[in-house]
Amino acid sequence: MGVWDFIYNLFPRLYELTSAALGGLPTWASYLILGLIGIVLILFFVILVVMLFVWFERRLVGRFQIRLGPNRAGPAGLFQPIADVIKLLLKESFTPSKADRWVYFLAPVVAVVPAFLIFAVVPIQGGAGGILVDLNIGILYIVAISTISVVGVFMAGWGSSNKYSLVGAMRTVAQMVSYEVPLVLSIIGVVLIAGSLSMVTIVKEQAVPFILLQPLGFLIFFLGSLAEINRSPFDLLEAESEIVAGFHTEYPGIWFAIFFLAEYGHALAVSAIVTTLFLGGWMGPGLPPYLWFFIKVLLVFSVMLWLRSTLPRFRVDQLMGFAWKYLFPLALVNIFITGFEAILWPDFPWPIILVNILVMGVLIVLWSRFFPLEEGFRLERYGIGIAKGMALTFKHLFRRPITVQYPEQRLTPSRRFRGNELVLDLGRCTGCGACVRACPLNIIHLETRRGPEKGLIVERFDVEAGRCMYCGLCVESCPVGCLFMGRSYERATYRLEELTVGMDRLTAPDRKPSAYAHPEMEKEMPEQTLLAPPKGVH
Amino acid sequence: MGVAIAFWVLAAVSVASALAVVITRDIFRAALFLVLCFLTIAGIYITLGADFLAAVQVLIYIGAISVLIIFAIMLTREAQRGSPSNRLRLPALAIGVLLLATLVFAVLVTPWNVVVPLPEAEPTTAGIAARLFDLEGGFVLPFEIVSVLLLAAAIGAIVLARDR
Amino acid sequence: MAIGLEHYLILSAILFSIGVYGVLAKRNAVAILMSIEIMLNAVNIAMVAFSRYIVPALLTGQVFAIFIMTVAAAEAAVGLAIIIAIYRSRQTVDVEKINLMKW
Amino acid sequence: MELKTEPFVLNMGPQHPSTHGVFRMRLVLDGEVIVDVEPVFGYLHRGIEKLAEGCNYAQFIPYTDRLDYLASMTNNFAYVLTVEKLAGIKVPERAEYLRVIMAELMRIASHLMAVGFLLNDMGAFFTPLMYMFREREKILDLFDMVCGQRLTYNYMRIGGVSHDIPEEFLPALRRFLSEMPHFIDEYDQLLAENEILLARTKGIGILPRELAINSSASGPVLRASGVNWDIRKVDPYSVYDRFQFDIPLGTVGDTYDRYRVRIEEMRQSVRILKQAIEQLPDGEIRSKVPARLRPPAGEAYGHIEGPKGELGFYIVSDNSPNPYRLRIRPPALLNLTALRDLIVGWKIADAVVIFGSIDICLGEVDR
């Protein structure tokens, strides 16, 4: 009983402590209180991890896309999800006028509740306290519960009476119902080996992680669950470029936040289920079990993000074809093979691993080669093209981001930069009006009077900066070189009258001229920042 | 005690939602009430100790049948016209009430051969599997027949719904 | 008051009667189908209740319930396919208007 | 299983993530299948052709930047070319070469955006687009270097170009040219063999050769249909007859061909650029042209091969400082002619991709 033991067995020890503290109460009361504590813990766990996931996703996808991702709010941008949530909470909440109000407002709730319910049977550590309830139908319960969220999506699509929402909802039904079939069938392989539906037993049976014993099952399950939670490349029902935002197009502020929570809650749930079913759950050497569990979950989620930042999405009929003509028969064959093996070698000796991986390869090649997903389209390259693309995005993970952290880090524009300001050297101006004639927009207003000696005195030199397009023709036309383009690109104002820039501001010392049409000045200008080639090239 | 509370709540909700299904004019809402009804019935299965069946209820009735029904509603666009009652409403009501009275009467007067004391509810998954595939007194043949029925239904549905 | 077999049976009877009323009184074919589903569920409740209270060791009722669910799923699929086929040719799912034997 | 349902109308745009601006398509849908489409445009109409009548010839150049804002250089080029034709102005050789360099750089930049947004419409969540933005950024840096702006260049002048290139330009351009083929290979590696991309583009939105010609499509859209028509070859302008380059052609005319043609054109542009740097002569960059040019009365049509197709300017002069009438042949608008034939019968998702593969820019369509 040391500190390490406490940390190692955190959840069982906490459970023991709480039950000991509740020892004086009647059984039903302590049962109730323990249950409530568990529920509250799960709520917090899901919401916290979802926030972490949102941050993680944006950072990681950013790196895949040679960007930095959010990095301003808090250390490394960790508070960005909190800022997002606050923003969403403060937004105006509106209802489309033709919406079916009851259905409209209930939809996010129906969508989010199953995401939480799933976690009741996800074990994060062995022993009591590592799981809320060890249902003996665990995995069946998960499959059943997750179907309920379809209804929520449906209600959203119907209730908001928007055509994009409706199309999104229709796609959802088709997609979710179709992918449920291979998904459930692929679970059967695992259940056959483990001999139980209970999540805890399934984990305990995994001396060898089932991903090795069931490689094909894993692939089908993973792809199927990607489709179930609408992740790329199956993110059709909220395909931004096609149907705007799908079923939640019409949801503002907090209601959108709930859908968002549901979506990421499901992503978390799927990562957790994949971890439990195929990656050996909490088991692992050295580290405390719950940490192992969490690391594996994060790993699975990262793979989802990797896919998301690489792949284009399927079209709706190809998606259905993929489920019915590719995953479904493969899942059936997988059950056959697994059942066969379960009868022949009930304790699954290690050569089975090699056999199964081989079988997977052969089946994938067979199906890709001979079974078209739609007319004229086969996966002829067995996914090699996809793998190549993914290798490339992975390479970009280690390249230098091209992000410029703007206010702190400024790029120097070129020496001839035409900023959004004009600079006037009044001393040299002769009031000839060449700039006025050159301006395509007629926005330079010049008034002169005859001076005491020869020449003109400029009385008024106004530029309507609000209309100016900074083409530089006035600067080029100036015969005495008294007009310059400024170097600033940050001029802005809130007041309309300030957009008419007079002589005093055109000649103000904070306006730095650039060398545009003034080649004699080019030498003294700072050098332009150029985008450097990324690491690993040359 | 807990089971009793759960039963009364679930029974009330299921009856109310079933009533809403047949009364509501908005057919989409009726379908949603149907989902609620199915969900509460799954709860009732749990009070009966049928955990496997409850999960299957959710999976099949909510995950498949309700979704199919909602899909059909969307496809037929009947929602605008609603789901009105026909001329037979009063006779139907009478028949329903009469049927209910008969059934309740039958339930109450029949001497049920209830096992006393009731054994604790146990996980049923393995039990159902054993019962289904028991070679003596099992249901292997019906099981196969049902599989064929499902296949026939799937093919039939595709043939019926296909665009000619 | 403890919950007994009669409670479940009466609940089942109520749901069944509601289903019967719906089947008889509704015009919309989809609504009729929904009422039929309620009736099937009512029967299932009775089955499971019998299984629990009369033959708790055998689970026969639950096995029956599974068969009923399977049949219900098949029925829903075929029924909805028929409704869609009718809708396609008649542009309605009102059973009162669907009164021709041939179309 | 095809389910026939009631057709319903989906209004795609003018505010829609993938209509590339304020384009609107009124789609009549049967389920997900498009049975009819009515394109609606003009939301960005600014009357640029009319504005030209109020400017003198030099003043109109900045306006051309605002036609196709993803390819301003070539707009400048086409306009000054036409005015020079109208007024009979000779352009110094160095200026011609600079123009060609800028035009080919612009073509690469524009094709990068076209391909990037096409992939984005396909759902490749911004990754290819970001990679392409990176290369476009380098081109914009080069443009910034010569003309002081990154989007509205206003670089070409009647009779030449506004500035000579600074001394750091050529080294930067050489570096860019040595990197660019590598990056094009990377784009190919990223998606060209991707099964999903093939599924989404092969055989989708086929524009047959005959239809392409009849609907007066031009540019990559036309060449993807197998028509060997590139103004740089068939009616060489500027100094294009001095370069060796190939015209990539498609075979089927589907979305995939349009995508491939653009990728290959980028390679060819790199080739032209390398030759242009080799041949770049010294000398004047601008011939003497009066500030208020008065071309002789008459008319002229000048056209170039812009990134999106044949960009033409038709100018009528009445010997006054302002054009009497100016008309633009916008390739993006004319490529849209075949939109209906391309889209009808496909699904919403295909419509977005086909539309993206035409590569329009609303600034040019609406003018």
pLDDT score of A77: 82
- Structural tokens at position D339: 């939109």
Domain-located, residue A538: no
Task: Find chain C residues with C-beta within 8 A of B34's C-beta.
Answer: 34, 37-38
Domain-located, residue A413: no
Rounded to the nearest angstrom, the minimum Cα separation between C43 and chain B is 11
- Pairing label, strands D24-30, D8-12: antiparallel
Residues A423 and A385 in one domain: no
Q: How many domains does chain A have?
A: 2
Crossing angle, helix C5-25 and helix B89-109, to 10 degrees?
160
Domain with A494 in it: 419-531
Residues A473 and A331 in one domain: no
Task: Find chain C residues with C-beta within 8 A of B60's C-beta.
Answer: 69, 72-73
Tally of CB atoms within 10 A around A339: 13
Residues A97 and A203 in one domain: yes
Neighbours of chain D (3+ CB pairs under 8 A): A, B
pLDDT score of A538: 38
- Which of C4, C37, C96 lies nearest to residue B34, judging by beta carbons? C37
CB of D1 within 8 Å of any CB in chain B?
yes
Closest to A389 measured CA to CA, from A308, A460, A328, A485: A308
Residues A292 and A197 in one domain: yes
CATH (domain of A509): 3.30.70.3270
Residues A344 and A488 in one domain: no
Rounded to the nearest angstrom, the minimum Cα separation between B123 and chain A is 7
Domain-located, residue A537: no
Crossing angle, helix D93-121 and helix D255-279, to 10 degrees?
150
pTM, two decimal places:
0.83
- With H, G, I as helix, E, B as strand and everything else as coil, classify residue D26: strand
D312-336: burial string, b at 16+ Cβ within 10 Å, e else: bbbbbbeeebbbeebbbbbbbbbbb
What topology is assigned to B1-85 in CATH?
Four Helix Bundle (Hemerythrin (Met), subunit A) (1.20.120)
Domain-located, residue A90: yes
Residues A371 and A457 in one domain: no
pLDDT score of B17: 92
Residues A224 and A273 in one domain: yes
Kindly provide the ipTM of the predicted complex, given to two decimals.
0.80
Q: D75-96: per-residue pLDDT in tens? A: 888 999 898 888 888 888 888 8
Q: Which of A363, A396, A429 is the last residue of a domain?
A: A396
Strand order across the A456-464 sheet: A444-450, A456-464, A500-501
CA distance C76 to C83: 10
Q: What residue ranges do the domains of chain C occupy?
A: 5-90
Residues A385 and A433 in one domain: no
Tally of CB atoms within 10 A around A485: 27
Residues A379 and A437 in one domain: no
Domain-located, residue A401: no
Name the more confident of A315 and D133.
Answer: D133
A280 dihedral zone (left: phi>0; alpha: psi -120 to 50; beta)? left
Instruction: Determine the average pLDDT of the residues in D167-175.
Output: 86
Residue A241's Cβ-side half-sphere holds a number of Cα atoms within 13 Å equal to 24
Task: Find chain B residues with C-beta within 8 A of C97's C-beta.
Answer: none
pLDDT score of D221: 87
CB of A208 within 8 Å of any CB in chain B?
no
Domain-located, residue A50: yes
Tally of CB atoms within 10 A around A39: 14
Residues A376 and A428 in one domain: no
Q: D309-354: per-residue pLDDT in tens? A: 888 899 998 888 888 888 888 888 888 888 888 888 888 778 888 8
Q: What is the mean pLDDT of each run of 10 residues along chain A (538 residues)?
A: 74 76 75 82 85 87 84 83 86 78 84 85 75 77 85 82 78 81 86 81 79 83 85 68 70 83 87 86 78 87 86 80 82 85 76 78 76 65 77 82 80 84 82 84 84 78 85 85 84 84 81 83 80 53
Q: D17-74: per-residue pLDDT in tens? A: 777 778 888 888 776 788 888 888 888 888 888 888 888 888 888 888 888 888 888 8
- Structural tokens at position D53: 């009548």
pLDDT score of B78: 55
CB of B53 within 8 Å of any CB in chain A?
no
Q: Which helix (H) or strand (E) holds D155?
A: none
Instruction: Determine the average pLDDT of the residues in C49-76.
Output: 85
- Structural tokens at position A310: 């690489």
pLDDT score of B40: 92
Task: Find chain D residues with C-beta within 8 A of A367's C-beta.
Answer: none
Reply yes or no on whether the pLDDT at D178 is more than 70: yes
- Structural tokens at position D203: 């055989």
- Which of B4, B47, B84 lies nearest to residue C27, judging by beta carbons? B84
Residues A178 and A284 in one domain: yes
The domain over range C5-90 is classified in CATH as 3.40.50.720 = no
Domain-located, residue A315: yes
A502-526: burial string, b at 16+ Cβ within 10 Å, e else: ebebbeeeebebbbbbbeebeeebe
